[in-house]
Structure 1
């Protein structure tokens, strides 16, 4: 009928019913070790997740867990792509908070995981703001926090986020605040976690074999893994072997960009073990 959307509405309703049926008949995963990869956006969480998901004892979700459940706020749906810092109140959870339906989350993730595997892997950058809550509700939870050169991470957020309500994207100041706050919260909450480790993007891409061995030992996997560091991985817009992409991002930053980043993140850059950059590198086309 003119002026109605019956086909669209019916299709959406049937999709929701099908999803609820799958959730209904999916068992709540038990007796598993949950491993959560957390970190600021554009810090290598996807790359690390893709790598670890190829291990024969690990089953990883095909996309971020935040997009596969209706129990956590989705940054994209809220108009906050790669920018949860603007509404930290919606994302920050500790063991004292109630709200999300734990059984439903486990089912929503579990129906997309291979439950015959020993380790279940999830990665969502916003989960860095709720590690304490996750530890309370997910058995044997392990947390791997990844950090990356701040200039590369901040430039990537600015370039990739694409908030639809802002023509020129997020201001660089906000991107710098997102890097600072992401790592601040993770560090603050790590003191409450029983099983937590830091890793660096730079170590994963430059010392791949050694760093992966260290990460696997942390997760409880002692067996030797013959991982091929030359294997191509599809990460966002690229499909190529593992390599350090920092320099491409750094070369896109002007002197003014560096001043903005340093003004907001300067002391945090040193605190997390990186060097402050004041002079721009040779620029490349975006």
Structure 2
């Protein structure tokens, strides 16, 4: 007898009238390297959610700026890069909606929530709101030191000036946090906020928080083993300490030189300067 669990049935947006089916378009606003991939994968296992197998910006047929190569992971660090990310002339939202809905997948034909994410969403949330009906947002952040370490580790190989990269990564995450604070203010009525640390420590509570925010989501498990970026295949856990411990004392001091004037921004999200290597 075969005791293996059957794979869930997959339904496709291409075979569904998504415009009539959906009651909510849900977008995750979250900086890169902050737990968004795990959360997105977990959301996609809910039978109540239509989701994409790739980030919204990487869906085949998406018309808009795509963060890759020169600006991958650091797209908010300088004004020219950020201005391009938010230039409305680059987008074709009618095409993007068709693209996302066509490629969406769900484990129930009755799913009524469409969900996707891409880190740059936090910079152009208003465009999402203006172009999708019944828009709601999940707003998430992570300890910026862990984000900086991840960016430097991923972009570092082949980089000739790691000190410059460290400064760029720090400017990037500070800009992202500034935008997230504004997103919290601007979308207070249609968003819910939590941190990566909250999600790791209390996945059941955060799942309940998301379900309360979007009542169409009846089932959501944020504490399951999932393959993330082909690097991890495990249950959700907080990786901050091991990542931050990789930063040297000199690197911490360089980060803090840029962060010190923004301590109120860090405190807004519950973070503070880390002055000594762990």
With the length of structure 1 as denominator, give the TM-score of the two structures.
0.80
Residue 49 of structure 1 corresponds to which residue in structure 2? 40
User: CA offsets per residue over residues 247-283 of structure 1, 9 Å max, x none?
Assistant: 11011011111112212223132232112210101xx
Residue 60 of structure 1 corresponds to which residue in structure 2? 51
1:195 aligns with 2:187: no
| Closer, same or farther: CA 51–26 of 1 in aligned 2, 3 Å | closer
Helix, strand or coil at the partner of 1:122: strand
User: Is 2:113–2:216's contact at 8 Å kept on the other side of the alignment?
Assistant: no
User: Is 2:42–2:222's contact at 8 Å kept on the other side of the alignment?
Assistant: no
User: Is 1:39–1:145's contact at 8 Å kept on the other side of the alignment?
Assistant: yes
1:158 aligns with 2:152: yes
Residue 234 of structure 2 corresponds to which residue in structure 1? 240
Residue 181 of structure 1 corresponds to which residue in structure 2? 175
Residue 121 of structure 1 corresponds to which residue in structure 2? 115
User: Is 1:80–1:163's contact at 8 Å kept on the other side of the alignment?
Assistant: no
**Coordinate RMSD, CA, aligned:** 2.5
Helix, strand or coil at the partner of 2:71: coil
| Separation in 2, partners of 1:30, 1:100 | 24
Structure 2 residue runs without a partner (length 5+): 1-13
User: Is 1:29–1:107's contact at 8 Å kept on the other side of the alignment?
Assistant: no
Residue 276 of structure 1 corresponds to which residue in structure 2? 273
| Equivalent of 1:250 in 244, 248, 255 | 244
Q: How many residues align?
A: 252
| Separation in 2, partners of 1:28, 1:67 | 20
User: Is 1:270–1:276's contact at 8 Å kept on the other side of the alignment?
Assistant: no
| Separation in 2, partners of 1:163, 1:132 | 35
Helix, strand or coil at the partner of 2:105: coil
User: CA offsets per residue over residues 21-57 of structure 1, 9 Å max, x none?
Assistant: xxx9996745521111111111111111111111110
Residue 74 of structure 1 corresponds to which residue in structure 2? 66
Helix, strand or coil at the partner of 2:247: coil
Structure 1 residue runs without a partner (length 5+): 1-23, 282-286
User: CA offsets per residue over residues 88-142 of structure 1, 9 Å max, x none?
Assistant: 101126xxx4552211001111121137421111110011100011101111111
What's the CA shift for 1:71?
1.4
| Separation in 2, partners of 1:239, 1:46 | 12
| Equivalent of 1:141 in 135, 144, 154 | 135
| Closer, same or farther: CA 30–263 of 1 in aligned 2, 3 Å | farther
What's the CA shift for 1:161?
3.4
Higher relative contact order, chain-length normalized (CA < 8 Å, sep 6+): 2
| Separation in 2, partners of 1:98, 1:182 | 22
Residue 132 of structure 1 corresponds to which residue in structure 2? 126
| Separation in 1, partners of 2:211, 2:129 | 19
| Closer, same or farther: CA 187–261 of 1 in aligned 2, 3 Å | same
Helix, strand or coil at the partner of 1:111: helix
User: Is 2:52–2:100's contact at 8 Å kept on the other side of the alignment?
Assistant: yes
User: CA offsets per residue over residues 53-79 of structure 1, 9 Å max, x none?
Assistant: 1111012111111111441111115x2
